Chains A and B, each alone.
Chain A
Amino acid sequence: MSERKDLGRAAQSAYLVVVLFLLIFPLLVLIPMSLGSSTTIAAIPQQWSLRWYDEVLGSPEWRSAFGWSMLTATAASIISTSMGYLGAAAMVRSKSRLQPLLQILILSPMMVPAVVVALATYLLSTSLGLDGGWVAISIGQSLLGLPVAALVIAASLRGIDETLLRAAVSLGARDRQVFLTVVLPMALHGILSAFGLSFLIAFDEVLIAIFLTTPSLQTLPVRIYQAVTYELTPAVAVVSVLLMAIVCAGMIIGGLYNWAMKRMVPATSQS
């Protein structure tokens, strides 16, 4: 019986390893793919070179696309995070009967299909006269990140023990002091995660950017989309590797931050 059980467990573990491998392997293949020298993409190039890194990093088109994406995604994630904080505070503390309605409203940009949000942003930008501007793209992208930001910040606000707030108030702290010295430091992890996640969502967003793109305003995903459709050169692999490096850096920073917080802050306040 137990032998059979062990066998079953082993088979399951092996299966998990296979699934995880299949998840990560295609992304790892991008690295050799980006190191070829010919114009056709091969998983294992015949000749290794950094040619395409030179081309991408030296290309004004890719550089401007990256710049536009940094701009729209930064603006979008600032909006998402601040609006998400307001939403989270309302979701966590409100005892109103309208609370479920509020929650649905805050989360609705995530439930509405992205293409509908994109069309909405397109109409908005024409009726506000922002036609094709990066501001409209940022606003649309911030909508997509807002629900995620609100959820992540709400989770961190829920983790704050109300006794601490009460203690601060009873010791004479004003509202602003309670916020700056108690709430903000304890919710900082959530706020930074919300910022990071909404940045990635905005940075990866295609449809809003496609609807509002102009020849002089192309975000990175629009550029990648066009390159995959019309060119399919190792340049796309190079950009992919650079994007993965950003994600990797973000995950490492997040991990280190967590680790550092766990060492600095005693376990009691981490409940």
Chain B
Amino acid sequence: MSVASRTGQPAASGFMSQGRQFVGLAILLAFLSVFFLYPLVEILVLSVIDAEGSLSLQPLYKLLTNAGIQSILLQTAVTSVTVAFTCLVIAYPAAACLARLEGWKATLGNIIILFPFLTSSLVRTFVFIVLLGRNGMLNQFLVSIGVPGAPWKLLFNQTGVIIGMTYVLLPYMLLSLVGSMKRVDARLIDAARSLGAGRVTIFFTVYLPLTAPGVAAGLVITTILAFGYFVTPALMGGPAQVMIAQLVEQQVVIMFNLSQAAGLSIIMLVIVGVAYAVAARWLGIARLMRAG
């Protein structure tokens, strides 16, 4: 590339020679084709082959019109959107403050966010099962301060799933918001203030619009992650909180019904794909990925 053209040296270009770069790319593409794209095609094929073994959209249509599956899809969508907005509401003010920190305080804040982020999601779900139980720490605390109605039922129901998933996904939202808030130019806020804008006006006309991409990216990432989530709803939800990923898992592990699992996977892929396409159009793919 530019190196070769400017120095007149052959081969050397950036990180590898043209030839080697090509070989590297070929290896990567071969790897992805064999181990990722090919089985995805297999899933697609499995999902559109009916009981007689001929190609048809009937199996997918059957899945989509099945009342049980419809209600699970609705449950999954409602849960993931609720979790994303809960994360946003909790994280936004905290992230605004975190983005202003400097020095050791900023480092400490980052460490506290990164630690749960890097810790196994199974571990994080497990501890919430213990804390939210009928005799768990939270209920003991609520009872001891005399909260009416305590102990609450916080496990194996929708509340438990929302609390658990919010905890697990909160770091994604925080990281996404802090990234966009750090890029806000403080001079713009000063300029607005010197022109006489009040705090509320500054927030709604300057700060919120400038941080909107981070908000949008955070919402998209957490919603999509929540949509496909398995561990937390499987361990913290009851029978009414079954989400789509659990259904796929049941089809594979318990029912051995691979074509149904494949059909559900295709439905998930289409929903997630549409969500990404809309988000990418709206935000730009690069920003979306940076946030994730």
Contact = CB atoms under 8 A, between A and B. Distances in A.
A93 B262 contact: no
B208 interface: no
A50 interface: no
Given A29-B137, A115-B249, A247-B115, A165 B3 contact: yes
A175 B15 CA distance: 8
Which of A16, A89, A109 is most buried by chain B, counting CB atoms within 10 A of its CB? A16
B24 interface: yes
Interface stretch (B29-37, B57-65, B142-150, B210-218): B29-37
B39 interface: yes
A89 B230 contact: no
A93 B15 contact: yes
Interface in B202-245: 224, 227-228, 230-231, 235, 245
Given A20-B112, A224-B126, A93 B272 contact: no
A228 B130 CA distance: 10
A100 interface: yes
A185 to B, nearest CB: 13
Contacts of A107: 289
A93 B97 contact: no
A170 B227 CA distance: 52
A192 interface: no
B115 A16 contact: no
B7 A170 contact: yes
B120 A204 contact: yes
Interface string B162-179: 000001001100000000
Interface string B63-74: 000000000000
Given A12-B93, A93-B21, A116-B265, A123 B13 contact: no
B186 interface: no
* Interface residue tally on A, bucketed by range: 35 or more
B27 A86 contact: yes
B24 A89 contact: yes
B285 interface: yes
Contact of B115 (A33, A210, A251): A251
A24 B285 contact: no
A123 B204 CA distance: 51
B131 A29 contact: yes
A206 B231 contact: yes
Nearest to A20: B112
A25 B35 CA distance: 40
A100 B285 contact: yes
Given A86-B27, A169-B3, A92 B97 contact: no
A79 B35 CA distance: 12
Contacts of B39: 119-121, 123-124, 127
A232 B15 contact: no
Interface of A: 5, 8, 12-13, 15-16, 19-20, 22-24, 26-27, 29-30, 33, 41, 43, 79, 83, 86-87, 89-90, 92-93, 95, 100, 102-117, 119-124, 127, 139-140, 143, 151, 157, 162, 165-166, 169-170, 173-175, 178-179, 183, 200, 203-204, 206-207, 210-211, 221, 224-225, 228-229, 232, 236-237, 239-240, 243-244, 247-248, 250-251
Shortest 5 CB-CB distances between A and B: which pairs?
Answer: A113-B228, A120-B39, A19-B94, A16-B97, A93-B14
Interface of B: 1-3, 6-7, 9, 11-17, 20-21, 24-25, 27-29, 31-32, 35-36, 38-40, 42-43, 46, 90-91, 93-94, 96-98, 109, 111-116, 118-131, 136-137, 167, 170-171, 199, 224, 227-228, 230-231, 235, 245, 248-249, 252-253, 258, 261-262, 265, 268-269, 272-273, 276, 285, 289, 292
